[in-house]
Amino acid sequence: MLLALTLATTALATGCKPVAFHGTAYEPPEMAPSVVLNNAAGGKFDLADQHGSVVLIFFGYTHCPDVCPTTLSDWKRVKAELGHNASRVKFVFVSVDPARDDPATLHAYVSRFDPDFIGATSDSTTLANIEKSFHVESAREETESASGYVVTHPSQTFVVDKDGNLRLLYSFGMKTSDVVSDIRNLLHGA
């Protein structure tokens, strides 16, 4: 209680206002889970190596008919609006369909939206453990479609701040301007 009162008093004395985020804030922020995946370029993506960057993480798959391509299109607009600040943001699409999303397929898919977007995946066990640490899950559902199955998956985007903390959660369809505003605040130390 004393710490909260001290912070509030300091904010008032210095004229700083607390930041009101548009996404759902983690209160308090929590250390992001360990995420080590194979990236689509043939190397490794390790979330722990991203300190200094804001990281957006989305779980999806390349055969997704709606949420995934829409989210990546939204990210493309966010990146464009960030301008020079975009170089300090990582956009990570984690495929939860390793059976179909080999590195070449995953790379081709994310590159259609932006060549800097990171496509990453792993084996089913590793993916299940990572999803569990984010409190989400995906599941394969057999269908009569040409692809044989679909994958149900979360539709949220997780935002990790420059210090490696989970800070925000975006619901599907967040306004580009709101996401850009939040990322700028995180880049400037909010």
* pLDDT the model gives residue 41: 80
DSSP state of 122: -
163 lies in a domain? yes
For the question of whether the overall pTM of this predicted structure is more than 0.85, the answer is: yes
1 lies in a domain? no
* pLDDT the model gives residue 28: 92
The domain total for the chain is: 1
Strand partners, 25: 168
43 lies in a domain? yes
- 82: domain CATH number is 3.40.30.10
Structural domain including 51 reads: 24-187
Choose among 157, 180, 154: nearest CA to 81. Answer: 180
174 lies in a domain? yes
76 lies in a domain? yes
Residue type, 83: G
Asked if 46 and 130 count as a contact pair (C-beta separation under 8 A), the reply is no
3-state helix, strand, coil in the chain (%, to 5): 40, 25, 35
* pLDDT the model gives residue 16: 54
DSSP state of 49: G
Q: pLDDT tens for the chain, 190 residues: list them.
A: 333 333 343 344 334 556 789 999 999 999 999 999 998 888 999 999 999 999 999 999 999 989 999 999 999 999 999 999 999 999 999 999 999 999 889 999 999 999 999 999 999 999 999 999 999 998 888 887 677 888 889 999 999 999 999 999 998 989 999 999 999 999 998 7
Question: Alpha-carbon distance 183 to 88, whole Å?
Answer: 10
144 lies in a domain? yes
> From its phi and psi, is residue 164 left (phi > 0), alpha (psi between -120 and 50) or beta?
left
* pLDDT the model gives residue 17: 55
5 lies in a domain? no
64 lies in a domain? yes
* pLDDT the model gives residue 7: 39
The per-residue DSSP string of 156-167 comes to -EEEE-TTSEEE
* pLDDT the model gives residue 150: 85
Choose among 152, 175, 183, 160: nearest CA to 34. Answer: 160
